[in-house]
C-alpha cells in the first residue's frame, strides 16, 4: 500500500476503558520492569506494572521519582508511604509510594452532542484501543495522528504519548505481553479558539519501535496525556487516524 494511506480510524466508541491505576513513587533504588508484579511491602497489595516513567532522580542514585501505570490491582490495602517491591512478595524496598492508586482512564464525554474522550489536566490519563493491521499494510512505519480539542484553553501546548503492543498469533500471550516503549509529541499547539481541532502526529519506525506490528495482526494502542503539559482544562480526543508513513 502506498505511503500516507490510512490504515485505521479509531473513535471514542472504540476505547476499551482500561481498569488501570496511576500511582506516584519516590526514593526508587531498583528499577522494576513492565510485566512485573508490584507489591506493597506492608500491605502485600499487588498489581501488574504496565509502564513506569521517571520525572526526576535516578535508580542508581536511590532517588528515582516518577509514576507507574498498573493493571490487575487486587483492590485493597495499598497505603501512601509504604515501600514497594517488584517481582516477589518478599520486601526489598525498590522505592516508596507517595500516594494511593487512582483511576487514570480518560472519561467519555460529549462536545456539542458529539462523543469525545476527556483527558484531565492534573492527573495523567490513558485510553486503550484495539485495532487490526490490514493485510494490505506494506510493512513500513506508521504515524498515529490524534485529533484534539481543548475544553476552554486557547493557548499553550498538549503533550501526548502513544504505545503499541502487537499480538502475533501463536507467539504472544496476552496475559504476559507488555507494550513497547512510547513515542511522544510534546508540543501540540492548542488552537486559539476553543472547540477547534488540532492534529498531533506521533511517528513510529517499522520494527521494534512499533512492537513489530505486522499485516494481519491485532494490536493494542495506548494513548496517554502528560497532565503537566501546560494546557489548562481537559484535552478532548475526537478520533485517531493510523496511516502508513
The count of domains in the chain is 2
pLDDT over 70, % of the chain = 99
pLDDT tens per residue, range 118-128: 999 888 899 99
Q: Are 41 and 137 found together in one domain?
A: no
Q: Which of 70, 102, 134 is the endpoint of a domain? A: 102
Q: Are 190 and 213 found together in one domain?
A: yes
pLDDT tens per residue, range 41-74: 988 889 999 999 999 999 999 999 999 999 998 8
Residue 1 lies in a domain: no
pLDDT band at 164 (very low <50, low <70, confident <90, very high): very high
- In the numeric block, the cell 501526548 is attached to 160
Q: Which of 102, 127, 156 is the endpoint of a domain? A: 102
Strand order of the sheet with strand 218-225? 125-132, 218-225, 157-167, 183-189
If one counts every other C-beta atom within 10 angstroms of the C-beta of residue 63, the result is: 14
Task: Using a cut of 0.85, tell me whether the model's pTM lies above it.
Answer: yes
Exposure string for 88-119, b = 16+ CB within 10 A, e = fewer: eeeeeebbbbeebbeebbbeeeeeeeebbbbb
Q: Are 87 and 73 found together in one domain?
A: yes
Residue 127: domain span: 6-17+105-244
Amino acid at each position: 500500500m502506498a505511503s500516507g494511506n490510512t490504515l485505521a480510524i479509531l473513535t471514542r466508541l472504540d476505547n476499551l476503558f482500561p481498569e488501570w491505576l496511576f500511582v506516584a513513587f519516590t526514593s526508587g533504588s531498583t528499577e522494576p520492569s513492565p510485566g512485573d508484579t508490584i507489591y506493597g511491602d506492608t500491605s502485600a497489595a499487588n498489581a501488574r506494572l504496565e509502564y513506569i516513567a521517571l520525572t526526576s532522580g535516578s535508580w542508581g542514585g536511590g532517588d528515582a521519582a516518577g509514576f507507574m501505570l498498573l493493571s490487575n490491582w487486587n483492590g485493597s490495602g495499598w497505603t501512601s508511604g509504604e515501600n514497594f517491591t517488584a517481582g516477589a512478595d518478599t520486601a526489598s524496598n525498590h522505592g516508596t509510594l507517595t500516594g494511593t492508586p487512582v483511576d487514570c482512564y480518560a472519561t467519555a464525554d460529549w462536545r456539542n452532542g458529539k462523543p469525545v474522550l476527556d483527558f484531565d489536566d492534573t492527573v495523567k490519563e490513558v485510553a486503550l484501543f484495539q485495532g487490526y493491521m490490514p493485510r494490505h499494510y506494506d510493512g513500513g512505519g506508521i504515524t498515529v495522528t490524534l485529533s484534539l480539542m481543548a475544553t476552554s484553553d486557547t493557548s499553550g501546548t498538549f503533550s501526548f504519548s502513544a504505545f503499541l503492543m502487537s499480538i502475533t498469533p501463536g507467539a504472544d500471550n496476552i496475559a504476559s505481553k507488555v507494550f513497547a516503549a512510547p513515542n511522544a509529541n510534546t508540543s501540540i499547539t492548542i488552537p486559539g479558539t476553543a472547540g477547534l481541532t488540532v492534529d498531533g502526529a506521533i511517528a513510529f519506525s517499522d520494527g521494534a519501535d512499533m512492537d513489530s506490528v505486522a499485516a494481519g495482526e491485532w494490536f493494542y494502542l495506548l494513548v496517554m496525556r502528560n497532565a503537566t503539559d501546560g494546557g489548562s482544562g481537559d484535552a478532548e480526543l475526537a478520533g485517531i487516524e493510523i496511516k502508513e508513513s
